[in-house]
Amino acid sequence: MAVNQKLSGYLDSAGKRWEPISHPETMSSVDEARALGIDPDEVAKSLVLKSRGGYALAVIPGGHRLDMHKVRDATGDRTIRLASEDDLERDFPDYELGAAPPAPELLNVHGFVDPTVGSREWIVFAAGTHTDSVRMKTADLIELGDFREADLVKAGEE
């Protein structure tokens, strides 16, 4: 497999430098980091959220867990929850389950990023499949995604 064509076109059209990385199949950001020989927090974990108003994307470091109380505070939406597998298969068919890239504009959703993601110069993230990732400058990813910064990780994991 290769980097999702929509994602590669999106990154290329933005003029950002990025590097494709292939690896054995992984089903979590921690496994992705392990397969690449990097720290889990060098991987951006994308979590698709759903509310009555639509979808949003939360991006946190791979070694952290999402705090839904903080998500609800950041979004001001008490109904927001993790999108179900059925939601993802139906509404994001271009991406394998659990491999959506941290690209809110591409997914046509609002984006939220935990400030700890920006602590690394470079970041790796799923490229639409469980065998392909992208590596790029973290600042470029955050700028490209037009994210709203918000505290999203469980306490004690910052």
pLDDT tens figures, 31-76:
999 999 999 999 999 999 999 889 999 999 999 999 999 999 999 9
Token pair in block for residue 3:
């980097």
> What are the per-10-residue average pLDDT scores of the chain (158 residues)?
86 95 96 97 98 95 97 96 97 96 96 96 97 97 94 83
pTM for the complete prediction? 0.95
For 82, residues 6+ apart whose C-beta sits below 8 A from its C-beta are: 47, 48, 49, 50, 66, 68
